[in-house]
Each structure stands twice: as C-alpha cells, then as structure tokens.
Amino acid sequence: MNRRLTALVCAWLLGALLLAGGSWTAFHAQETNPDKTWKIAVLTYSFSSEYWGYVAQGCLAYDGSDPAVDITVQGVSSSIASGEQIEILKEDLEHGRYDGYVIAAIDREEVEKILKDVDLPVVVVDSPLDAPCVIGRVGTENQIAATAGAKKAVAMAREIGWEKPSCVMIGGVEGDYNQESRLAGYRGGVMMSNGTWLAEVYPTDKSADSARAAMEQIMKDYPEGLAVVACYNDLLAETALETAEANSAYDHTVFLGFDGNGSVCERIMNDDRYRNMVTVAQNPYEMGFAAVQMLSDYLRGQENASQAASIEGQGDSGGTASGDSGGTASGDSDGDASGAAGGDTDGGAGGDTDGSASGDSGRDASGAAGGDTAGNDGSANYIDSGYSVITKVNAQERMVQIRNHLS
C-alpha cells in the first residue's frame, strides 16, 4: 500500500470523525509483503470526498486481511477530474503494473473505450461499465434507494404541516448514470406518496458553489417555499439547507440527501438546523471491501483453473478446475467478520428503521444487502451493498456503524 496515500486517507478520515465529534483508533495499513501474489489497483474518485474515503477504507481493510494481495488505492483531485483518472489508468496499463483493477469511473464512456481491449479482470464499484473485461460489480440500487428516501421525505413534510407536498431536485451532472437513477427514484417516491413532483431539475457540477446557485434560483422560482428539496448527494443537500437558512419561507422544508456520510449524520443528531433533513445512506465501506474480495477470489479461481489445465495436459484426469474460475462474487461476503457487504456485524444502520427498504429484491427485511443477485445492468456477478434511510431517529446507529468501520 502506498504510504503517502495511506497517510492522506487516514488523515482525512480522522479529520472527518473529529469534526463529527467521534473517537478515532489509528488505522495502520499493512506494509507491502514480498510474498503477496496479486497486485490490485483501486481507482476511485477524489479522497476529498468523505464518501470515497469510506470506500478506500473498506479496500484497505481487505488488504490488511488477505496476505495474498497487495492493494494500491488511487484517487484524483476532485470528483469531476475525469482526465486525471484516465491518465492514471492509461499509465498503469502501459506499464503492466497490476493483475486486476477495481474501478469507480468518473467518465464511463472514456473508461469503457480504454477497457475494450484490456484482458485484465475489472470489478466495478458504483455505476456499471460495459467492457468485456468486467467480471462483476458492487453498488447500490440507486433508484430503489432514492424511492425510499423520497417517501420518507414526503411523510416528514406532511408531519410538519404540508398538506400537498411538492418537490424539486438539485441534481448532479445531467446524463450521469447515478443522476438519472436517483432522479427516477425521487420522482417515483414523491408520486407514490401522493406528492407533487415539479418537473424542474436544477443541475450542478456536484460542487458546493453550484448547489448554492441552484438553491438561490429555487428560492426565486418558488418564493412561497417548497415541501421537499431532493438533492443528488449530501454535499448538495447541506449546501442547499444552509443557503435557505435565512429565508423563512423555507423554515419547514425537508432537505433530502444521498450517501449518509458521518458528518451529515452527526449534524442530523445534534444540530437543530438539520431537524428537517433526511439522507439515503449507502454502504461505501462494504462496497470497497466486497469489490476487492470479488477480484481476489476471481484471480485465485483463474490460477486454480490454470493449474488444473496444466495437470490435465500432463495426463492427470483428476486435475479439474476448482469451479470458481468463473469469478463469482464471493459467497462469504455476507458473513465476513469485518462487516463486508450484507454482514453488518455491528448492528448499525444497515437497515432502514422505518421499514422502507423491506421487500426490495436482494435485501433482507433490514434493508441490508441480501447477497449476490443478478444486477439490473446485466452484470453476471453483482453485489447490492444495500442502503438505509437516515433521520434523527436512527442517525446514532449509523454513526456507530461508521465508527466501528474506522476503528
């Protein structure tokens, strides 16, 4: 593990927890072991993002649990720095540095172009990629999760006093896979709850400045206030809430975020300004852990198949492949002691306490990941890492989950 990156990730996570009022146990990444067999690169978004810091932490946790792999986690300067990500990937491939990749692509089309002729296995985190080398994906069912969040937001708005709740969205980048999935979920959840979905979507580049501008425009367009402002992620929701703070028409507006970051959950718990905020929490730590585990299992399966073929070539009829060479998503990921996908051993916010996640395909009643399912993007190997809807009622549970992951 690259020492500089380890220091950056750990320093950032320490700062996030301290700001959230949490405790910290230092994470010491395992030193590179010369006996490790597989070199795996994890290429994600920026570590200035709290969410992607959690993904990195999950990857590092797997690195520390498996002596047969050497994992390098690489991030870029911002969540829209697609050019940097492309250059890192091209350079790594040119020099043949790794045996496989875990990738969270910023610019899906450009990454797909690069991967179309690559023969190394790739596991995708978050949005799907269409390339022959992709052997599986770990992610969140964004539309299902957003639907649950919107239902909760509308219910909260009615409790506050809105008789006919109406909703607009502050979105991310237009055309982005997650943007479109969350938009569909928010719209569906509002309409299922007999709310009014207003067609306007205010796009942003996912920065605080653009979210501030979007919220200012919303207040001009709807001076009488709105019941719900649904946002692409937590950063945009927090920025919108703070921008509207001085406008009394928005005193009773519910702000809906997406990600469930620890800093947001802490403020939902303790800051009265956040009393009307709700967020859809993903499980990024579990995503990181499960993704590198899936790739590690695949690489082992390929090695077993190769050894079996070699033995068969020597006339040993008993030397058949072990059967896992197809690279299936690891079956034990839902019971891993570290809390990998679906196995929330700390009993934290893996489940939606208001029950909105119940009944979703691939989940148990708690709303946590129910194991390997055929992904709706067509991936043969897909792990749904689950979600939960967080309000003041269960924000403490979410914080316990996050702190246990970082300890």
Token pair for residue 334? 């839902």
Q: Say if residue 273's pLDDT is above 70.
A: yes
Judge whether residue 181 has pLDDT over 80: yes
Q: Is 253:229 a contact under the CB 8 Å cutoff? A: yes
What pLDDT shows up at residue 333? 37
Tell me if 350 sits within 8 A of 357, measured CB to CB: no
Q: Could you confirm whether domain 3-140+283-387 is CATH 3.40.50.80?
A: no
pLDDT computed for residue 79 by the predictor: 82
pLDDT of 317 reads 41
Cβ atoms of 100 and 295 within 8 Å: the answer is yes
User: Which residue, among 96, 131, 83, 54, has the nearest Cα to 289 in the 3D structure?
Assistant: 54
pLDDT of 394 reads 97
Residue 171: which of 157, 185, 192 has the closest Cα?
185
Residue 382 bridge partners (DSSP): 137, 373
Pairwise CA distance, residues 296 & 69, whole Å: 7
- What pLDDT is attached to residue 302? 80
pLDDT at position 248 over 90: yes
DSSP 264-306: HHHHHHH-GGGTTEEEEE--HHHHHHHHHHHHHHHHHHHHHHH
**Which is higher by pLDDT, 350 or 113?**
113
Q: What is the pLDDT of residues 116-145, one digit of tens each?
A: 999 999 999 999 999 999 999 999 999 999
pLDDT at 80: 82
- ∠ CA(47), CA(261), CA(391), 5° rounding? 170
Question: Is 0.85 surpassed by the pTM of this model?
Answer: no
Q: Which residues contact 308 (CB under 8 A, 6 or more apart)?
A: 319, 320, 321, 322
Q: How far apart are CA 226 and CA 203, in angstroms?
A: 18
Amino acid sitting at position 255:
F
Q: What is the pLDDT of residues 335-393, one digit of tens each?
A: 333 333 333 333 333 334 343 333 333 333 233 333 333 344 445 699 999 999 999 99
In the chain, list all ranges with CATH 3.40.50.2300.
3-140+283-387, 142-281
Measured distance CA(185)–CA(151) in Å, rounded: 10
* CATH assignment, 142-281: 3.40.50.2300
Instruction: Provide mean pLDDT across the span 316-327.
Output: 38
Of 337, 341, 351, 346, which Cα lies nearest the Cα of 372?
A: 341
CA distance 286 to 272: 30
What's the pLDDT tens digit per position in 27-42? 333 344 445 589 999 9
Instruction: Give the integer Cα–Cα distance in Å for 71 and 60.
Output: 7
Q: Identify whether the C-beta of residue 142 lies closer than 8 Å to the C-beta of residue 387.
A: no
